[in-house]
Structure 1
Amino acid sequence: MVTLIHTADWQIGRQFEPFGPEDGPILAEARLEVVARIAQLARERDVHAVLVAGDIFDAQGVSDRTIRRLFDALSGYPGPWVLLPGNHDAALAESVWSRAQRLGVIPPHVHLALQPQPLRLPTPGAAVGGLAILPAPLTQRHTFEDLTAWFDGAETPEGWLRIGLAHGAVQGVLPDDIDSPNPIAAGRADSARLDYLALGDWHGTLRVNDRTWYSGTPEPDRFRANDAGNVLEVALPGPGAAPIVTPYRIARHPWIALHERLDVASDADRLAQMLAELPAQAVVQLRLSGRLDLAAHARLQQAVQRAQARVRALRLDSRELQLQPTDADLAALHADGYLGDVIAELRERQSGAEAEIARTALVLLADILREEGGGHP
């Protein structure tokens, strides 16, 4: 039995500016840290090779230090690594790969699949002669021809496993809004007599067919329910036999998107409990809609602030949430007379072009009145 780790879309060097100076650098660092965990897993599982199906780097212009750190992270697994250029790190005439070669940082056990030609990896001790890796490296960011077509006629040694390695969009399988148009025929594994086709570009784990899989990115980087955060262990019994594919959850930071509609006070309390139970390393996008009274909103504010202090990152979008002060709210705030009129006007303006300004003003005014009057939500 020959075993592989299949991974892709590391996006080393990606920056997360929208998360600010506290969380952004930590999320960027996590992309390097997960590579070290992949190396540890490969060593523990004693696999024969690790295949990385493109987009190892997020951009051609990453720093020399980042390049060095990436190759240092591979040292935890001494077996062969095969790195394929993707659309973010295409094998241009001058590229991140040519810089890595000039820096002299590529160790002997790391193979750059920069050319569309078979790469032979012997597998001592296995029942098969070895792995014949058929790579389809991207030499530009976008192409409209199927770079895996040459796999069909590629000659490989008798008794060796035929493994395809590519980065792009399987036709008729993926949504239209993926990162790259680079096409891959849905039946390539069959037409090229592949024992396994390891793919990158789709950031979630996805089975196309028995022999064709996307591993997804090992560390999620967007709010999408596509089962990101895995690597795949691929067990190959022998030439022609169906592979056995096992996902391993390896991500540190789960990305969680929540869209909650709030209509009554108990909805806010339920959401507060949900926020309290989020994993500490979670990256959360919280979108709120509906309407709440001021007291319930104040409790929810506190719950959100506690969650923001506890989880890795929490981004709040409350533009669709309206505040509806009740008589009890106004009494607690002692907001009668002119102040009551101001609150009523702000409440009405939440449905127009100034909705966000009115809602923010209403929250601030309520907070000021509580502080001055000692009121409680």
Structure 2
Amino acid sequence: MGAIYIHIPFCKQACHYCDFHFSTSMGKKAEMILALQKELQLRKGEFRDEVVETIYFGGGTPSLLSVDELTHIIRAVYTHYKVGENPEITIEANPDDLSRDKIIGLGSSPVSRLSIGIQSFFDRDLKWMNRAHTGEEARKCLSVAREYFDNITIDLIYGIPGMDHKRWRENLDMVLEYNIPHISAYALTVEPKTALDKFIRSGKAPAPDETHAGEQFTILTDVLRHKGFVHYELSNFGKEGYFSRNNSSYWLGKKYLGIGPSAHSYDGRNRSWNVANNAIYLKSLNKGELPQETEVLTTTDRYNEYIMTGLRTIWGVSLKRLEEDFGTGYYRYLLKETKKYLDNGLLDIRGEVLRTTVKGKFLTDGIASDLFYVD
């Protein structure tokens, strides 16, 4: 079983915190759509033995494409790949793109899941992040989307400077009012070379406070747990039956194919990625070439990745699988390195599975990186 990710590299404007690949110039949109279909055709041999379970449109802002444009790309997947019954087909969307007509059109298309980038319902936060939509647009699009889609997830960001705990709780309360079955919530991070990074270094904006973010993470997990959400991955919360099938495939180590500029792929042993440049990508595809680089993952690379992805999820790190896949040396190394985290209650081993505790959850990424094996 496999997943296909399709990167749509266009946005209306740049969010201050974002370091994903995109362009605010849409003059090459039609050419890009043809190139994406061409790449799908050229790479069909890589998934010859796979059944596609999920198709995910990310970006960038996929909702800038029309329903017809999205449908053409989806048809290309069905033409060149074996697609399972009832695949999860997700499109990331911004509220300002989701008019009633657009939502109705998506509801009539093969798209089965909406991932809506709300981030906050408050205009002061949205302006601070340089988001293109308003709080009113966020609320309006959710009201309409619930009429036509059952499977909806929304993104929220916490730890924003100036967002106090009261406003963060109000954000969560608004989500719950719409009976949204899945929430992805991320701590605001400062990525190098972003506008936010420049603002902080020049003193024009305050840096996020880790303690403040940690407190809001605790509020988040407490509120959603009491509302019946399962905290199945560090940043993801879903009602039963609404976990992201696409993202779960990444965390469980399944194969995935990344289509479009900057998109990454994984076949179980190798990782490859397309050039993060629209012009070079288009030029290459026009010549029938793949603008790709490939890295052969070492045993240590795969071990470290398993530690990171495993600890972030409720499925944890299987000590039995780890010893079988990576050998006794890595198994003993992990047990030695985890001792201090087991002793201070940040990690726990039950049923031969290593997991973070409630106390250690917010620190997961730091703990995982400390457990990495360094050659």
TM-score, normalising length from structure 1? Answer: 0.32
Structure showing greater radius of gyration is: 1
Would you tell me which structure has more helix in proportion to its own residues?
Answer: 2
TM-score calculated relative to the size of structure 2? 0.33
